[in-house]
Structure 1
Amino acid sequence: MNVLHKNTVGILFVTIGLLVTCNIYSLIPLYTTIANEMDIVAKDVATGSILFTLFYAFGLLVFSPLADSFGRRRIILIGLFVSAITTLLVSFAKTPLPLYIFRGIQGFSLASFAPVAFAFSFDIFMEKERTFWIALINAGFLAAGMIGQLTSAFILQISTWQHVYYFFSAVYLLLFFLGIFILPKVVNHHSKESVKGIISQFIKLLRGKILSKYYSIVFTLLFSFVAYYEALGYFLPQGDLKVLIQSIGLLGVFLSVFAGTFISYFSARNTLLIGILLGIGSMILLLFSYSPWFTAFLSIFFVASIALLIPTIIHLIGTNSGVYRGKALCLYSFLLLIGASLGSFVASILSYRMVLILLIFTFMHNFFVTWKLKRIS
Structure 2
Amino acid sequence: MTTLISSHRIAAPAAEGGAPAKTAHAPFLPTLVTFVATALLATGQLYGVIPLLGAMGREWHAPASALTWMASAFGFGYAAGFLVFGPLSDRFGRRRIIVTGIAATAVTTALVSLAPGLGAAIALRVLQGVTTAAFAPVAFTYIAERAEQRHRATLLSAVIGAFLASAVFGQLAAQGIAAVAGWRAVFAVFAVAFALVAAALRKVMLPGRPDTAGSPLDAYRAMPRLLAHRRLIPLYLATPVVLGSFVALYTGLALTGAAGGAAALLALRAAALPAIIAIPFVTPALQRFHGAHRATGALTLTAVAAALIGFAHPGTLGLAILLNAFVAGIGLTAPALIETIGGHAGPARGTAVSLFTFILFVGASFGPQVAGALSAHGLPALAYVLGALLALGATLTLTARR
Provide TM-score, normalisation by structure 1: 0.94
Identity of paired residues, percent? 27
Query: Which of 258, 271, 286 in structure 2 is aligned with 1:248?
Result: 271
Gaps of 5+ in 2: 1-22
Note if 1:127 corresponds to 2:149: yes
- Report the Cα distance in structure 2 between the residues aligned to 1:6 and 1:251, rounded to whole angstroms: 22
Note if 1:160 corresponds to 2:187: no
Please state how far the C-alpha of 1:194 moved relative to its aligned partner: 5.4
Q: Match of 2:39? A: 17
Q: Match of 2:225? A: 204
Note if 1:355 corresponds to 2:382: yes
Note if 1:275 corresponds to 2:302: no
Note if 1:225 corresponds to 2:254: no
Task: Specify whether residues 158 and 262 from structure 1 end up closer, same or farther in structure 2 by C-alpha distance, changes over 3 A only.
Answer: same
Within a 5 Å distance, the mapping from 1:132-211 to structure 2 comes to: 132-193=154-215, 195=217, 197-211=218-232
Within a 5 Å distance, the mapping from 1:1-377 to structure 2 comes to: 5-193=27-215, 195=217, 197-234=218-255, 235=257, 236-257=259-280, 258-264=282-288, 266-287=289-310, 288-351=312-375, 352-374=379-401, 377=402
Please state how far the C-alpha of 1:301 moved relative to its aligned partner: 0.4
- Report the Cα distance in structure 2 between the residues aligned to 1:173 and 1:89, rounded to whole angstroms: 14
User: Over residues 233-262 of structure 1, what are the superposed CA-to-partner deviations in whole Å (9 max), with x where a residue is unaligned?
Assistant: 222221533321232123221342122321
Q: Given residue 222 of structure 2, which amino acid in structure 1 is its aligned partner?
A: Q
Q: Given residue 40 of structure 1, which amino acid in structure 2 is its aligned partner?
A: A
Please state how far the C-alpha of 1:55 moved relative to its aligned partner: 1.1
Please state how far the C-alpha of 1:292 moved relative to its aligned partner: 2.1
- Report the Cα distance in structure 2 between the residues aligned to 1:237 and 1:87, rounded to whole angstroms: 32
Mapped contact 1:245–1:293 kept (Cα < 8 A): no
Deviates more, 1:88-97 or 1:360-369: 360-369
Structure of greater relative contact order (alpha carbons < 8 Å, 6+ residues apart):
2
Q: Could you say which structure has the higher helix fraction? A: 1
- Report the Cα distance in structure 2 between the residues aligned to 1:165 and 1:142, rounded to whole angstroms: 21
Q: Given residue 263 of structure 2, which amino acid in structure 1 is its aligned partner?
A: D
Provide TM-score, normalisation by structure 2: 0.88
* Aligned partner of residue 239 in structure 2, secondary structure: helix
Mapped contact 1:222–1:337 kept (Cα < 8 A): yes
- Report the Cα distance in structure 1 between the residues aligned to 2:272 and 2:77, rounded to whole angstroms: 29
- Report the Cα distance in structure 2 between the residues aligned to 1:371 and 1:178, rounded to whole angstroms: 39
- Equivalent residues, number: 373
Please state how far the C-alpha of 1:336 moved relative to its aligned partner: 0.4
- Report the Cα distance in structure 2 between the residues aligned to 1:191 and 1:168, rounded to whole angstroms: 38
